[in-house]
Structure 1
Amino acid sequence: MVLPTNCVMAGGPAAANIMDNKPMVNILPFAMCSSPANPMVAAATAAALGVLTPMPCIPATAAPWAPGSPTVMIAKMPALNNSSMLMCSYGGVIQVSAPGQATVMVP
């Protein structure tokens, strides 16, 4: 999710930069997490007598997206592009699967 705070639109929706990494604001819960480093997964696995039990993914992101665009800036920060990734503190990687627009290309 991109909040309209940067006031930059790209083909309709608001464009994101590498600092749009806030859990529960920019990154909403999604899919299932199977990382044993996630306390919810560890608790569910212990309750299932050691059988790995995935739980809903509640993102835990501390660092910005990387690498971002080296040439396009939004609010003085690199714009996100299709190769940007966000590392989760529990060991996962978050990537953009559907950018929300198809008319603007960010290098």
Structure 2
Amino acid sequence: MASLQVCAGGTLQCSFGAAPGVLNVLPANRTLVGGVPAATLLDSIPIVNITPFGMCQSTANPTVIAATSAALGVFTPMPCVPATPAPWIPGGAPTALIGPAPALDAQGTLVCAWGGVIKVTQPGQTSTLVP
């Protein structure tokens, strides 16, 4: 089943984040969708591609652990710094290549090292499908 192609400016949400983030896609592959760079499964680098999600609520995040400990056990969220060690997990069949990597569709997910699951909430465009 086809799904929407994700591109630069798409909105993301982490299951432990307090706010949405944005997907940044560098124009290295020279493929545009609606005038902006199209995303691939490799667009998963923290800060470069994946922006922070406000305050992190994960009890596995070392900064949250330290802040909670300093607050004598009172749970204390800390600013999110995404920790995404692996590429996106494709949601559909990765049949379309953009440069050296499969295109990222709106069903893709990304796992954070602190336990969060990052999903696409708005792909950044509404007309181009990935087969």
Q: TM-score by structure 2 length?
A: 0.76
* 1:13-71 C-alpha deviation (Å, 9 max, x unpaired): 11010111111100111222111111111111112211211112100011000015421
- 8 Å CA contact 1:13–1:101 kept in 2: the answer is no
Match of 1:3 in 2: 26
Match of 2:50 in 1: 27
- 8 Å CA contact 1:12–1:101 kept in 2: the answer is no
Instruction: Select 2:117's aligned residue among 69, 72, 93.
Output: 93
- Any unmatched runs of 5+ in structure 2? 1-23
- Any unmatched runs of 5+ in structure 1? none
Match of 2:5 in 1: none
In terms of fraction of residues, the more strand-rich structure is 2
1:46-65 matched pairs, under 5 angstroms? 46-65=69-88
**Corresponding residue SS for 1:86:** strand
- 8 Å CA contact 1:30–1:57 kept in 2: the answer is yes
Match of 1:14 in 2: 37
CA distance, structure 2, for counterparts of residue 40 and residue 98 of structure 1? 29
Between 1 and 2, higher relative CO (CA 8 Å, sep ≥ 6) is seen in 2
Counterpart code for 1:67? P
Stretches of 4+ aligned residues off by more than 6 angstroms: none
CA distance, structure 2, for counterparts of residue 31 and residue 85 of structure 1? 19
